Amino acid sequence: MMSATGGARRRSGTAVGLGLATLYLSLVVLVPLATVAWRSTSHGTDSFWHSVTTPEALAALRLTMGAAAIVVVVNVVMGSLIAWILVRDDFIGKRLVDTLIDLPFALPTIVAGLVLVSLYGPTSPLGINLAYARSGVLVALLFTTLPFVVRTVQPVLLEMDGEMEQAAASLGASRLTIFRRIVLPNLYPGIAAGAALAFARASSEFGATVLISGNIPFKTQVASVHIFGLIESDNATGAAAVSTVLLVIALLVLLALDVAQRWAVRRG
Amino acid sequence: MAISVRHLSKRFGTFAALDDVSVEIPTGQLTALLGPSGGGKSTLLRIIAGLEAPDSGQVEIGGLDATSLPPQRRNVGFVFQHYAAFKHMSVRKNVAFGLEIRKRPKAEVQRRVDELLELVHLEQFGDRLPAQLSGGQRQRMALARALAVEPNVLLLDEPFGALDAQVRKELRVWLRRLHDEVHVTTVFVTHDQEEAMEVADEIVVINHGRVEQVGTPDELYDQPASAFVMGFLGPVTKLGGRMVRPHDLELTDQPAPGAQAATVLRVTRLGFEVRVDVKVGDEEVWVQLTRGEAAKLSLKPGDSVFVMDAGKEIAG
Amino acid sequence: MRIVAFGYLGLLLVLPLGLVGLRTFEHGVSPVLHALSQPNAVHALQVTVVIAVIAVIGNTVFGVGVAVLIVRHTFPGKRLFSALVDLPLAVSPVVTGLALILVYGPTTSLGAWLGRHGVHVIFALPGMVLATIFVSLPLVVREIVPVLEEIGTDQEQAAWTLGASARQAFSRVTLPAIRWALAYGVVLTLARGLGEYGAVAVVSGRLVGKTQTANLFVEERFQNFDQPSAYAMAFVLASIAVTVLLAINLLRPADEA
C-alpha cells in the first residue's frame, strides 16, 4: 500500500521491526526451547528413551495427562454452564461473579496452592483432606484452568442473540432439541479452543500443585514436578528429555487450537 | 486543481481493478466516478489520494507528477464511506487535526475550525465525541476535517453510502450547494446513478476496470456510448430487439404509423408514474406513462393497444 | 443449574480465598505486620516488583510492535511467527526455567562467556527477568491484535491524507484507539510477572534474601512451618491479584464503548 517510495520505506520498516521482534523472541523463547530439544538427545536417542521411560517419568507423565484430561472434561461442562448463566441468566452480583472468574489467572500459582491447602489440606475447616492425594492434584488443576472455557464460550453466547433459537422454536423444536442442534454446535469452536488452552495449562502446571500434592513419586508427582526434581539433582539431560515430551504435547495443543480457531472463522 | 490520470493499471492478485485508465478531471468541477461495485472506481480514487500504489501509469495533480508522493504530501482531502472519525477526539479536535499537524498557530486553528463547523452546520456539536453524532453529522464532520487543510482536491469515497435514504438525499443537495460555495475540485465515487446525475457536473462511468464514457449527465443519459451506460444510467426496455427508455415509448388506442399492436398484461401504479407491461409479439415490453396519460387510456389487462418509440434511436 | 454453578465457584474460588484472609488475621494484625517487615520479606517484595516492572516494559514495547506487524504488515511466515509468539502460553514454567538454564547457565559456553564479562544470568536477577518475560510474553500482543483488526485502517489513512506522518498517525490516532486494550494487556502482564513461581524458582537458585521473590518466600516459609509468614505474604499477593481483577473489570467496559 501507499506510493512506490512510501512502499519501499514501509517494507524496510517491516523488515527492521520483524528483525528486532524475532531477536527478542529468539533470545527469550525460541533458542532456549530449541536447546531443550537438542539437549534431550545430546547423549543419543537411547538415553532420551531411557529418560522418558523410567518408571518414575512414565508415572508422572501418565498422571499429568490423565489429570489434565479429567480436568478438561469437568471444566468443559462446568465452564460452559457458568458461561451460560453469566450470559443468559440474571441475578444480583452477576458482575462480581463475572469478575471472580478471572481470579485463577490473576492469583499467583503458589498462593493458589497455599489457598487450596488451607481449605482442602490437613487442617481443612470442611474436614476434607485431599493433601498428598491425587484428588488434591485434580482440585489444584481445576482451579487454575477454570477460566479458559468460560472465557472462550462467553463471547460466542453473547453474539448469539437468540434469534436462531427463536427461529428453531417457531419451527417446532423442543428446548432440548434447540440446545442440542442449534446452541451446542455453535459453541463447539469456543469449547474446543477453551479445552485446548485448559489442557495446555493443566499439563504444564507446577506452582499450584507443589504444596497440595506432596510430590510423592508414583502417586502425586506430576511431570513438571518430576522435571524440577531432575533439575535439582543435576540431571539436565533427563530433565530436557521429559521437557521435550511436554513441549511436543504443547505444540500439538497449539496446533489443535489453531485448527479450532480457523474452524470458528470459517463458520463465521 | 485539475487531476490528470494516465494509463493507470492496478491488479489485486489476478483481479484487474484498473486496466489502462486515463481520465482528465478539470479544475473546480464536481466529478462523479460512477459504476457498479467492484468496477474499480474506489481503487482509482485511492490511487489519486496516494492510499494505493498503481502497478503502472501516472497521476498528476495541478500539473505536478504526484505518482510517487506519499498521501501526506499530496494535500488532498479524503472522505471515507464509514467516516473514519477519530473516535477518541471531539468534533473540534477532529476538524483541527490536519491544521495541528501543520503546526498552525492556535488562534488560527480556532478561527478556522469555527468557520468550518459553521459551514457544515455543526456549531453546537463541537465538544461532542463522534459516537454522540448521527451518521449524517459524522459525515459532515469528516467533510469539515478534510476541507480544513484547504486541500487541492477533495476526494469522497461513497460518502453517503452508509446513510439511510432520506439523509442521503438531503446531504446530496447540501454537497452540491457546498461545492458551489467552496469551488474546490471534487471527485466522488458512487454506485448510485441518481446521485451522480443530481450532483455532478461531469460523470466518469467505470466498469470492469475501464472507463466506459465521460460526459455531462445529460450527454450520458441522452447519448450513451454503450448498452452498459444506457442500462446503468436509467431504466431500459427492449422493443423489436432495440434498447429504449420506457418513458420514450407511447401508447395509443388507435393504430398509427410506426406503431405496433400490443396486448396489456399488467398496470402498476408507482405514485406519480404508471408502469404498463405489454406484450408485442413474443416480447414483453414495459412502458412508463404519467398518471394523466394512463387515466386517459383507462387501461386494463387484456386491452389491445399500439406502442411506438418516440425517442431517439440508440445503438444497442 | 444456577446452584450447581454457584456451588462449584464457591468451593473452588470464594471459600479458599476467604480462608486465606481468615488464616492471615487469625491472631490479629500485628503478627502480620511483623511477618511482612522481616528483612527477607521486604527484600522478596522488592525483587518481585523490580522483575515485574522490567518484564512489563519489555513486553509492552515488544507487544505493541508485534501486534502492529501482525495486523498491519505482510511478510512471509506471518502465521508461523504469530503462532510462535503464543508458544509460551503452552510451555510449563519448569520447562521454561530449564530452557533458560541450558542456554544461559554458568556451565554453558554462552553463560561462561557472559560470566567472564561480569554478567551472571542464572541464579541472578537477569535470569529471573528473562523467565518472567518468557511466561508473560504473549499477553500484550493477544489483547491488542483483535482491537487493531477491528478498528481497521480507515482512521490511520484519514490521518495520512491530513498530512500526518506514519509516526504521528500512530501516536495520535492508533495508540489512543488501542489504549484500553493496551492497558488491559499491561495489567495482565504485571499480574503474571508478580505471580510467576515455577520458572523463577528454577532459574533463581532460591537464595533467601538474594534471589528470593515474594512467591518463593511463600513456598519456603510454608515448607519451613512458618505458616504466619507464608500466609501474610500470600495475603499481600492475593490482595494485589484482587486489585488487578478490579482494574481489569474497570477497563473492560471502557474497551467496549
Question: For residues A49 and A41, what is the distance between their CA atoms, to the nearest angstrom?
Answer: 9
Chain C residues near residue B87 by CB distance under 8 angstroms: 155, 177
Q: What is the pLDDT of residue C9?
A: 85
Residue A268 has pLDDT above 70, yes or no: no
User: Is-contact B145 C162, C-beta < 8 A?
Assistant: yes
Question: For residues A200 and A134, what is the distance between their CA atoms, to the nearest angstrom?
Answer: 19
- Which chains have 3+ CB pairs within 8 A of C? A, B
Which of A2, A35, A142 is facing C12, going by the closest CB pair?
A142
Q: What is the pLDDT of residue A100?
A: 87
Residue B99 has pLDDT above 60, yes or no: yes
Question: For residues A35 and C95, what is the distance between their CA atoms, to the nearest angstrom?
Answer: 11
Chain B residues near residue A7 by CB distance under 8 angstroms: 53
Distance from CA of C146 to the nearest CA of B (A): 17
For residue C40 the three cell numbers come to 527477607
> Per the CB < 8 Å rule, is C161 touching B49?
yes
Please give the angle made by the CA atoms of C162, C164 and C167, to the nearest 5 degrees. 160
Give which of B60, B69, B74 to mutate to test A binding, by max A Cβ within 10 Å.
B69
- For chain B, list residues whose CB is within 8 angstroms of any CB belonging to chain A: 50-53, 67-71
Q: What percent of chain B has pLDDT over 70?
A: 98
> Per the CB < 8 Å rule, is A243 touching C95?
yes
Convert the pLDDT of each residue in B29-62 to its tens digit: 999 999 998 889 999 999 999 999 999 999 999 9
ipTM for the assembly: 0.87
User: Is-contact B73 B180, C-beta < 8 A?
Assistant: no
Beta pairing partners, B61: B3, B64
Convert the pLDDT of each residue in C114-171 to its tens digit: 989 988 899 999 999 999 999 999 999 999 999 999 888 999 999 999 999 989 999 9
For residues C139-174, one letter each, b for 16 or more C-beta atoms within 10 angstroms of the residue's C-beta and e for the rest, the string is bbbbbbbebbeebeebbbbbbbbbbbebebbbebbb
Residue C230 has pLDDT above 80, yes or no: yes
Convert the pLDDT of each residue in A131-189 to its tens digit: 888 888 999 999 999 999 999 999 888 888 777 888 888 887 888 888 888 888 888 88
Distance, CA of C74 to chain centre: 29
Mean pLDDT along residues A8-18: 77
Q: What is the pLDDT of residue B97?
A: 94
B9 phi and psi angles, rounded to 5 deg: -130, 145
pLDDT band at B127 (very low <50, low <70, confident <90, very high): very high
> Looking at the complex, does the CB of residue B280 fall below 8 Å from at least one CB of chain C?
no
pLDDT band at A267 (very low <50, low <70, confident <90, very high): low
Residue C184 has pLDDT above 60, yes or no: yes
User: Is-contact C60 C183, C-beta < 8 A?
Assistant: no
Which of C1, C90, C188 is facing A254, going by the closest CB pair?
C90
Q: What is the pLDDT of residue A1?
A: 41
Residue C255 has pLDDT above 60, yes or no: no
Looking at domain C29-256, its CATH architecture is Orthogonal Bundle (1.10)
What average pLDDT does the structure give for chain C?
A: 89
Q: What is the pLDDT of residue B315?
A: 43
pLDDT band at A264 (very low <50, low <70, confident <90, very high): low
pLDDT band at A26 (very low <50, low <70, confident <90, very high): very high
Element (H, E) at B265: strand B260-270
Question: For residues B247 and B86, what is the distance between their CA atoms, to the nearest angstrom?
Answer: 47
Q: Which of C239, C194, C190, C186 is nearest to C45 (CA)?
A: C194
> Looking at the complex, does the CB of residue A265 fall below 8 Å from at least one CB of chain B?
no
Distance from CA of A42 to the nearest CA of C (A): 12
Residue B314 has pLDDT above 50, yes or no: no
Cα–Cα distances in Å, from A230 out to A45, A141, A225, A237, C252?
18, 22, 9, 9, 42
Chain B residues near residue A6 by CB distance under 8 angstroms: 50, 53, 70-71
Look at the pTM and tell me if it is higher than 0.90: no
B77 phi and psi angles, rounded to 5 deg: -95, 135
* Chain B residue with the nearest C-alpha to that of C153: B84
Question: For residues A74 and A68, what is the distance between their CA atoms, to the nearest angstrom?
Answer: 10
What average pLDDT does the structure give for chain A?
A: 86
Convert the pLDDT of each residue in C29-56 to its tens digit: 888 898 899 999 999 999 999 999 999 9
Distance from CA of A253 to the nearest CA of C (A): 8
pLDDT band at A7 (very low <50, low <70, confident <90, very high): low
Q: Which of A222, A223, A28 is nearest to C99 (CA)?
A: A28
pLDDT band at A68 (very low <50, low <70, confident <90, very high): very high
Strands B242-244 and B237-239 come out as antiparallel
Mean pLDDT along residues C95-105: 93
Residue A6, Cβ density class (10 Å: 0-12 exposed, 13-18 middle, ≥19 buried): buried
Chain C residues near residue A36 by CB distance under 8 angstroms: 95, 98-99, 102
User: Is-contact A87 A158, C-beta < 8 A?
Assistant: yes
Question: For residues A33 and C135, what is the distance between their CA atoms, to the nearest angstrom?
Answer: 13
For residue B35 the three cell numbers come to 459504476
pLDDT band at C253 (very low <50, low <70, confident <90, very high): low
Q: Name the residue ranges covered by the structural domains of chain C.
A: 29-256
Which of B49, B72, B77 is facing C165, going by the closest CB pair?
B72
Question: For residues B53 and B70, what is the distance between their CA atoms, to the nearest angstrom?
Answer: 9
Handedness of CA B136, B142, B148, B149 (dihedral sign): negative
Question: For residues A27 and C114, what is the distance between their CA atoms, to the nearest angstrom?
Answer: 14
For residue B167 the three cell numbers come to 439523509
Residue B153 has pLDDT above 80, yes or no: yes
Q: What is the dihedral of CA A152, C190, C225, C42, to 10 degrees?
A: -170
Residue A2 has pLDDT above 50, yes or no: no
Number of Cβ within 10 Å of residue C225's Cβ equals 7
Distance from CA of C54 to the nearest CA of B (A): 30
Number of Cβ within 10 Å of residue B177's Cβ equals 10
